[in-house]
């Protein structure tokens, strides 16, 4: 039976790859982006207008999230994917050299926004059959990995992991699954052309793993293929 997925940051990279793969199998996609008329997403809408709902959404804005919520009203969402994210500056995010304003901006998108979106659309998820919220995190947020460098990005992913685990514990009794994923090192604008896998491979793995996940996997931190990651 076709499901409805809502994906933030659906206009490029992993988000667009997820949307493309989902409509190819007949699912409906609410494709949320700051610019839903961007070329890649517009092309997908033109090919699958009956399956894609382009939705303007700035995840950093309370007003924008509220407007998107109002536009979608009570539409059930089987799977909400918090995909929108930023890396931050390529320099000045080290332990000894930090751009603090940029660090705040990274947290706004990578930490505060996923919870803001989850709060807003929780009733839509609860009204669905799927009842899943997935957040694209990163292995770079693993403290057990003894990391160095990329402090702004790494700390934001550690923080969103904690935020979503606390959220997951709060909604578990409602039957809503909350999942965290490392999507792989993906060939996107963020990952770069020298990354390990294309967006299509990441998207296929994420979709399959999310399909197989339920309340028993709430608060798990896994790769796109379902491999557990140390916190």
Q: Which residues belong to the active site? A: 137, 153, 157
CA-wise closest residue to 121 among 2, 203, 3, 8: 8
Distances (CA, A) of 81 to 40, 58, 141: 19, 15, 18
H or E element at residue 79: strand 79-82
Assign 3-state DSSP to the chain and report helix, strand, coil percentages, each to 5. 45, 20, 40
**What CA–CA distance (Å, rounded) separates 210 from 41?**
22
């Amino acid at each position: 039976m076709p499901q409805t997925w809502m994906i933030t940051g659906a206009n490029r990279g992993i988000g667009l790859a997820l949307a493309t793969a989902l409509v190819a199998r007949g699912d409906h996609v609410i494709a949320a982006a700051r610019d839903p008329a961007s070329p890649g997403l517009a092309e997908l809408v033109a090919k699958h207008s009956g399956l894609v709902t382009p939705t303007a959404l700035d995840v950093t804005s309370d007003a924008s999230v509220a407007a998107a919520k109002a536009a979608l009203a009570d539409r059930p969402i089987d799977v909400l994917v918090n995909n929108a994210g930023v890396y931050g500056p390529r320099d000045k995010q080290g332990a000894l050299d930090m751009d603090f304003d940029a660090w705040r901006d990274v947290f706004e998108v990578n930490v505060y926004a996923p919870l803001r979106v989850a709060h807003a659309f929780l009733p839509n998820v609860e009204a669905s059959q799927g009842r899943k919220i997935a957040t694209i995190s990163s292995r770079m947020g693993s403290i057990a990995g003894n990391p160095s460098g990329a402090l702004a990005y790494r700390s934001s992913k550690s923080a969103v992991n904690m935020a979503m685990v606390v959220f997951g514990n709060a909604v578990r009794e409602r039957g809503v699954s909350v999942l965290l994923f490392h999507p792989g090192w993906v060939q996107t604008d963020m990952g770069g052309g020298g990354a390990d896998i294309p967006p299509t491979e990441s998207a296929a793995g994420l979709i399959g793993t999310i399909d197989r996940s339920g309340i028993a996997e709430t608060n798990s931190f896994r790769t796109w293929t379902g491999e557990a990651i140390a916190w």
